[in-house]
Amino acid sequence: MTTRPVQYDFTGKVVVITGGSRGLGHAMALGFAAAGATLAIASRKLDSCEATVKELRALGADGSAHAAHVGKWADCNRLADEVYARWGRADVLINNAGLSPLAPSSLETSEDLFDKIIAVNLKGPFRLSALFGSRMVAGGGGAIINISSASAIRPDPETAPYAAAKAGLNILTVASAKEFGPKVRVNCIMCGPFHTDISKGWSRTEEFARRAKRSFPLRRAGEPEEVVGAALYFASPAASFTTGAVLTIDGGASNPIVLTRRE
């Protein structure tokens, strides 16, 4: 048996990405498009999805735009129906849409905000995994990738509901892998700090840079394109014996080291 370099080819495959018009989702969309995939881009803002599809077509790929609030059961149902009506299949689902607002304290977290955070980060991926996973099982199989957060294992008080939802998503990954296997593999990417339009208010600050240099082995936040390789791997035959896995991509922050050398 010989070992050959992995080359990702998603020609003829349909990849569904929630929150695919910005941040990590946008980077993954471009990455899968470069590998030949057809993309179904979903987010709450249809115009943003359409703009991303236009980018994909400029790269020679094809795609479709879908307005969907994943925190709403009916929108999840409609998204699945739209994708199968448009493309007749879905080979990869990436549950990427997320919501992580800050709250001054647990006491000051409103019921509406708590419910909204849980709905987008946990309820939506649960429902979409059920809808797409069951259809993949009935068809030719597929892969589901959940995008979690290192907050799931390193929670902060101001984002406690978000951290709890992402911890639930890690658990959901394992449960879904058991339910939809062996035809569907379900894995999770647990992301640390990344530079995106959502995080730019803190990830580009001098305070964060100082903390990263002191406690992160790679001493910085990630760039969105640095998550793409993991997504391509999990979605591809290269990961044929990988399911129920949670891969941490956080610059080593999960196992911080304190640097004693002065910068």
> Which residues are designated catalytic?
162
Closest CA to 232 of 140, 56, 94: 94
Residue 131 — φ and ψ, nearest 5°?
Answer: -70, -50
Which residues have C-beta within 8 Å of that of residue 195, sequence separation ≥ 6? 203, 204, 221, 222, 223, 224
End-to-end CA distance of the chain: 48
Burial of 135 (0-12, 13-18, 19+ CB in 10 A): middle
User: Contact, 154 vs 196, CB < 8 A?
Assistant: no
Q: What phi and psi, each to the nearest 5 degrees, are found at residue 252?
A: 90, 5
Name the DSSP class of 221.
P
Q: Is the peptide bond before 155 cis (omega within 30 degrees of 0)?
A: no
Q: What is the DSSP code (8-state) at residue 66?
A: E
Collapsed DSSP state (helix, strand, coil) of residue 139:
coil
* Helices 23-34 & 46-58 angle (0-180, nearest 10): 30
Contacts of 235 (CB under 8 A, 6+ apart): 10, 15, 32, 91, 92, 94, 143, 145
